[in-house]
Structure formats: C-alpha cells, structure tokens
Structure 1
Amino acid sequence: MFYRGYGDVGNGYEMGPKRQRPPPFPVVRLQGLPFDCLEADIEEFFHGLDIVDVLFVHKNGKFTGEAYCVLAYPLQVDFALQRNRQNIGRRYVEVFISKRKEYYKAIANEVSESRGGSPHQSVSRAKSFDNGKDSAEHTGVLRLRGLPFSTGKDDIMDFFKDFVLSVDSIHITVNSEGRSTGEAFVGFANAEDSKAAMAEDRKTLGNRYVELFPSSHEELDAAILRGR
C-alpha cells in the first residue's frame, strides 16, 4: 500500500512509499493448566478461534502447567485474552499476551529436553514414558501425540520414511467439529516394525516433538468410530 505525504496539502512534494510494520505474531501464553491437559482441551478452551500450534512447556522433564498457543490471525489475540481466568476442568487458566521470541525460545527448550539436553530428567518421567513403553506389548499399531494441527498423512509417512506404510494405515483423529486433536494412529506391517519405529519417539515433526505409544487395533477402531 502506498501513502501520500505532504503533497496532499499542496506543497508540490510527495513522500515515497511508506513501509508498513508487519502485524504482531499471534501467540498467547497460558498458565495454570491441569497437569493432564491435552491439546484438545486447549482447542476447546479457545473454541471458535483458529489454533495453529500448541506448545506445552516442560522443565526438568516435568510439565510446568504452562503452554504457548499460536493463533491464525493477530486479531484473535484479543479474543483469546478474553478467556483469561476461565476454567479447564477445575482449574482456572490465566492467559497472557506473548511474543514471537518467547515462543521460539520455548520451542528450543522443548527440543533440547526431548533430546536429553536437560541433565536433570526426573525418574518418574523416565518410568512413565521410557520403561512403560519398553515393556508394553506391540501389536503393530502406534499412537502419536503432539502432532502439529496442520499435519497430514504425507507428513506422517515422511516421519516414518524408513518403514513401508500405506495412506490407509494412517488415521489422524479429529474432534466433533472435524478439527485435528494433534493425535494419530499408525498401523505397521507387523509388531516388529512398530517396535522398531519407537526409535522415532520424541523426534521432531515441524516445530513439535512427537511422542509415540504402543497401541492396539481395538484402540484404533475406537478412535475411528469417534471421528465419524
């Protein structure tokens, strides 16, 4: 867009093109979240807004009760702030305006933690995630959690590029409104492949690290029925 300057008042001079400032990065920070909070809970909390990404914040392997939520448009930040002190479950959640650099710093910290960058990983987290996954029985199905909401089946096939998958073996779960929940189920050729694919646990897809869990055909079928 071009703006006219002093030339509009008849002095014969016109200013050149005026450079517009880019719109602010549409991100808010949430504090006081339940410790079992899921991306679907955040989506419901901001019902009616277009969510691009949700990043849960961890410290020393433990969820802090904080998260960053990126919205599709800067104007939606004001609407998000109106949800301040509304409840998720029994807890009220505080919503604060945030900045791009804070969100990117949080991403860097999460990636560092997921790759073992923190020297103080908690024993309880190791037991619940690592030992529990290692001892779980494999049936050829994995559940993925923490996917970017924009993830498609092609992205998941690329994530598991070392394995032979078909499009039909991937099911991305959605809520009642047809929006992605950030979870998916993937069926592998056999149990050996699904167990080997656990090596991809906590690796990144886009700006998010993805958690993998052994699942079952029954859980996959139930997820498909819920999405219909």
Structure 2
Amino acid sequence: MFYRGKYADGGDGREMAPKRQRTVDPGCSFYGSPSSSFMYNPAPYGYVSQPPLPPPFPVVRLRGLPFDCTEADVAEFFHGLDIVDVLFVHKGGKFSGEAFCVLGYPLQVDYALQRNRQNIGRRYVEVFRSKRQDYYKAIANEVSDERGGSPRASRAKSYDEGKDSAEHTGVLRLRGLPFSATKDDIMDFFKDFVMSEDSIHIIMNLEGRPSGEAYVEFENADESKAAMAKDRMTLGNRYIELFPSSHSEMEDAISRGR
C-alpha cells in the first residue's frame, strides 16, 4: 500500500517543543545598567527566527488483531477518529496480527492510545505510539513481498492476471478509498472520463458509515476497461484498487449497506 503524509520524519508525539527565546530586561544588573557600556540586544541585526517544527507524524501500531480483521473493523475500533490509512503487516506471507493506523491529526494519537487493551471481537488489542519511519519501513516490506516469490506475492500476481482477463460490463469496483472520500473526489480521480454523481455509488457498512468501497458506472465497457489504467493510483493518501464488476454485484453491495 502506498500512502504519503506531510509530517516530520521520526515524530512520535513526544518531542520537546522548541525552546522559547529568552528575553532579558536590558536594565538587568547582570547585563549592566542602561548606561553601561555593554547592553543586551534581544534582536541583533540579521537575526532570523527559526520556523516552528512541523507536527509529529500521527501513526499508531496495533498488536493482537484478529486474523480476519478488516479495515472497517479498525475504523470501528477507533470510532470518532479520522482514519487516513490502515496497513496490515504480513510476515512470511501471513497476517501477523499487527497493523499501523495513520490518523488525521497528531492530537488524535493520544485519543487512539486510550483504546489500548480494548477488544475487537474476542481479542483485546494493544495500541502503541509509532514513528513515520516504522510505518514506511512496513510499507517497503509489503512491496518487497509482492515483488518477491512469497506465496502472498504469487496469489497477488494470479489475482492481477484475473483482473486483466475479466469481462468488462462498464462497472468498476473501487477498494481502499479513504473513509472521507466523496463523489467529487472519485470524479476527480476519473477526471479523464465522462461521468456524473449518479453513476458513483459509495458503499456503506451496516452502521451506515463508508466501507472504503465504491462502484462506478462508465458509459460503456470500453471506458471501464480503459479506466483500469488507474488501478493502484492514489486518491488522497490512499492507493486505490480497481476491479471489473457488474450491475448485479453493484446492486447487491448497495442493498447490503442500506
């Protein structure tokens, strides 16, 4: 999975804030009286103040997740927080029970930590502070697995070949959408294609919240096949997977979310 953020490298929410510039009364006896030959100049010529550091990267690590855990489960676990990305960690081609969760704001990390040792299903989940470099290292490992010869990579390759050979009906399923994605965002993602808001269907889960999936109806099968060139391109901070679908599958998904 490929995601990006605009936060300081290595930030884990515990760095000391930059020290405030000390100001000293020029009349202080330590620096001499106003008539003294030595005078403290609080803002010497050419002094340039340092800009504030960017906020720490808002990511937490989860451990002890159920092995059938989904992104929607993690979003429900952190209900009320803005989820930018969920990256499940695999080892040897198998889900390790760990994940990284990128949040919308650094302040939300403290709220996420309050969910430590609460349950997803029958498993209690541990929540830890993490760092940007750990998150991106995990992404690199996932990419390496996909390029290597692991069973997981072989399944992924087979799945991609299935996408290429699938029959197109003019409908594509999108997976991995940001939970905050709107129809306008999806229209912008497919800006090279003609579509209306009515042709975009964002799928909701049973609680009435976005599931991270959507269906898009194109003018014809040739258009949907051409749109597959956008597979695994990014929308916001998320890379989006595209799958050939059908009107019946789309209607079933829409009805389940009602």
Where on the TM-score scale, by shorter chain, does this alignment land: which range?
0.7 to 0.9
User: Does the CA contact (< 8 Å) of 2:66 and 2:97 recur in 1?
Assistant: yes
Is 2:107 the counterpart of 1:41? Answer: no
1:142 match:
172
User: Does the CA contact (< 8 Å) of 1:62 and 1:122 recur in 2?
Assistant: no
Post-superposition offset of 1:189: 1.7
Structure 1 residues 197, 71: CA separation in 2 closer, same or farther (over 3 Å shift)? same
User: Residues 16-55 of structure 1 correspond to what in structure 2 (within 5 A)?
Assistant: 20-55=52-87
Structure 1 residues 3, 130: CA separation in 2 closer, same or farther (over 3 Å shift)? closer
2:88 match:
56
2: distance between equivalents of 1:227 and 1:29? 29
TM-score, normalization by structure 2: 0.67
- Uncovered stretches (5+) of structure 2, i.e. residues with no partner: 1-18, 32-39, 44-48
- Uncovered stretches (5+) of structure 1, i.e. residues with no partner: none
User: Does the CA contact (< 8 Å) of 1:60 and 1:122 recur in 2?
Assistant: no
User: Residues 55-204 of structure 1 correspond to what in structure 2 (within 5 A)?
Assistant: 55-58=87-90, 63-110=95-142, 112=143, 117-120=147-150, 122-127=153-158, 129-134=159-164, 136-175=166-205, 179-204=209-234
Post-superposition offset of 1:132: 4.6
Q: Which amino acid aligns with 1:89?
A: G
Deviates more, 1:50-59 or 1:209-218: 50-59
Identity across the alignment (%): 70
Q: How many residues align?
A: 225
Q: Summarize deviations over 1:163-182 as a string: whole Å, max 9, x none.
A: 33223211223456765332
Post-superposition offset of 1:81: 1.6
2:22 match:
5
CA RMSD, 1 decimal = 3.6
Aligned with 2:57: secondary structure? coil
2: distance between equivalents of 1:74 and 1:118? 34
TM-score, normalization by structure 1: 0.75
2: distance between equivalents of 1:95 and 1:130? 34
